[in-house]
Amino acid sequence: MPLKGTDTRWGGMAKALHWLMAIAIIGNGVLGWIMHEMAPSMDKLNTYAIHKSIGLTVLALLLVRISWKLLDKRPADEPMPRWQRIAAHATHGVLYLLMLLIPLSGWFYNSVRGYPLQWFKWFNLPALAGKNEGLVELAHLAHESLVWVLVGVLAAHVGGALMHHFRERDNTLLRMIPMARLRQSSNGDTK
Ligand code: HEM
Ligand code: HEM
């Protein structure tokens, strides 16, 4: 599987980053809600530490993904009405913004709470702001609300991908899936 994309399909690197980050983000969201419900214990503290480390990893992968995007070729959109093209691109833009703001708001919340921050018990990271009880509630609300916005935008994103696959029967979903065989398009092109 070539690392770089072509006119008709995503490259291996873009696919790997898309699915790795999708799993990490959705998994970390589920972990966030589970840890929130846990009774105070050592296990809860360890789960918080894992949640924060996964979130920081998402942030680092986002930097790699954006840098790669600047060098990579994006496949042309499958044929679709103009409004759908605009909606899809706007959704992708909002998803990029959320992949940045959710980890940053978590990091900010952690900082104003005065909690320590480590990456998988390997090294420490600095606080984004000083301890500030007055900002704790706002920062928590921001982190949680951004996750709810993500849930809504993801529903549209996944719904759109499934609609293209099952109703339009085009290659939008298949060309993002590693090793998938593309369907014959209207111009006979399956490259
Ligand atoms: C992919 C990135 C992330 C996702 C999807 C995510 C999602 C969530 C969710 C769903 C919760 C539970 C909601 C709640 O407590 O009300 C939560 C809580 C929390 N998150 Fe994140 N988070 C991410 C990244 C981060 C990062 C990078 C940090 C810190 C460096 C962080 C720190 C926290 C903390 C401290 C809480 C606990 C809030 C509390 O109960 O007091 N998160 N997160
Ligand atoms: C947290 C989860 C996810 C995030 C943050 C996310 C984000 C993105 C972004 C930003 C793009 C645009 C890539 C670019 O233009 O550089 C994209 C493309 C795509 N995503 Fe996701 N995605 C997620 C989950 C999913 C899931 C679960 C599916 C499948 C059901 C999916 C299917 C697709 C497809 C098919 C494309 C390619 C669209 C096209 O060719 O125009 N995504 N995703």
Which residue among 47, 51, 131 is best mutated to probe the pocket of ligand 1, counting the most ligand atoms within 8 A of its Cβ? 51
Report domain extents, the chain. Answer: 12-176
CA distance linking residue 136 with residue 142, whole number of Å: 10
Nearest CA to ligand 2 atom 19: 176
Atom of ligand 2 nearest to the CA of 77: 41
Which pTM was predicted? Answer: 0.94
Q: Encode pLDDT of 92-105 as tens digits.
A: 999 999 999 999 99
Q: Encode pLDDT of 51-93 as tens digits.
A: 999 999 999 999 999 999 999 999 999 999 999 999 999 999 9
Indicate if ligand 1 lies below 6 Å from the C-beta of 55. yes
Nearest CA to ligand 2 atom 17: 92
Q: CB within 8 A of 11, min separation 6: which ones? A: 1, 2, 3, 4, 5, 72, 73
**Mean pLDDT score of the chain, rounded to an integer?**
95
Q: What is the largest CA-CA distance in the chain?
A: 62
pLDDT at residue 175 above 60?
yes
Topology of domain 12-176, CATH: Fumarate Reductase Cytochrome B subunit (1.20.950)
H/E run at residue 36: helix 12-37
Report helix angle 82-113 to 12-37, nearest 10: 50
Mean pLDDT across 169-173: 96
